[in-house]
Chain A
């Protein structure tokens, strides 16, 4: 996976004005990380409420459609902020994340969890007298999605603890 182009990319990124700025001011990385964590709070709370509402154990007074409507947008915006802060953090230390498998695992988990959570919108079409009928498989998808989201956080934390690929630039 450690292709010449990935190495070239990190080398190029490390030489940019952006990388120099992020790495050159002591407060920028902590500030980016705090914004990153606060955005995680928005996403995790949103996807917890959405997925556990689909399962039927939280916010039962609210229609599933209402919970989706309320939280999908803030969650999406927070994911955007996470992508931006994440990219800036990588710019500050280009060889840290991309040469560790767990980082790519994290990216894959985000994609999978996001798609599964987004897919609940289609679950509302089958109804019994206007109330969405939630099949067991849909609830299982919701639980899997939530576990994958939790996995994203674990994978993210683990970046700091694993070794980089052999031969990766420092």
Chain B
């Protein structure tokens, strides 16, 4: 089953119909989505700026990450749940939207970058001026700004 077939099927489910019928459901879920993504981007930026050596330099990077990332992950979980519900409100429209599809690809890249960080870069955190954490931090910031941009552009191109 490809994305188009899945979107067709989803658009006929009670969930999808309820989301399109209700006047308050979509704005409410959208608001929660905005809260989720702004917390993801803001908290990730704190970590990324530290990795880039641009902020909180006196603070131990591992300790900062351990303190902030739980917030990031909780917000990301909310973002995924609200994102799926938003998609369910108009599956056919979104699955045909280039910026939505692009955003999914960018999210996958951001996820891959995070995995790469945990696998490789984080053991170099203690080394002053190490390149791997900076590359991770820079890539992360760039990807998340792009994700927000693509996300906003969906609304203009539906």
B residues sitting closer than 8 Å to A (CB atoms) are 23, 27-28, 30-31, 34-35, 37-43, 45-46, 56, 63, 67, 71, 145, 148-149, 152-153, 156
Q: Are the C-beta atoms of A150 and B35 separated by less than 8 Å?
A: yes
A residues sitting closer than 8 Å to B (CB atoms) are 30, 33-34, 37-38, 40-46, 48, 58-59, 61-62, 70, 150, 153-154, 156-158, 160-161
Q: Are the C-beta atoms of A61 and B39 separated by less than 8 Å?
A: no
Rounded to whole Å, the gap between the CB of B140 and the closest CB of chain A is 13
Residues in chain B near residue A33, CB distance under 8 A: 152
What number of residue pairs across chains A and B have CB atoms under 8 A from each other? 68
Given A44-B42, A46-B42, A61-B63, 14 more pairs with CB closer than 8 A: A30-B152, A30-B153, A34-B145, A34-B152, A38-B145, A41-B37, A41-B40, A41-B45, A45-B43, A45-B45, A45-B46, A70-B56, A158-B27, A161-B27
Q: Are the C-beta atoms of B148 and A48 separated by less than 8 Å?
A: no
Residues in chain B near residue A157, CB distance under 8 A: 27, 30-31, 34
The winner among A44, A58, A70, A161 for most chain B CB atoms within 10 A is A44
Q: Are the C-beta atoms of A42 and B45 separated by less than 8 Å?
A: yes
Q: Are the C-beta atoms of A58 and B34 separated by less than 8 Å?
A: no
Residue in chain A with minimal CB distance to B41: A41
C-alpha gap A58/B46 in the complex (Å): 14
Residues in chain A near residue B41, CB distance under 8 A: 38, 41, 45
Residues in chain B near residue A34, CB distance under 8 A: 145, 148-149, 152
Q: Are the C-beta atoms of B148 and A38 separated by less than 8 Å?
A: yes
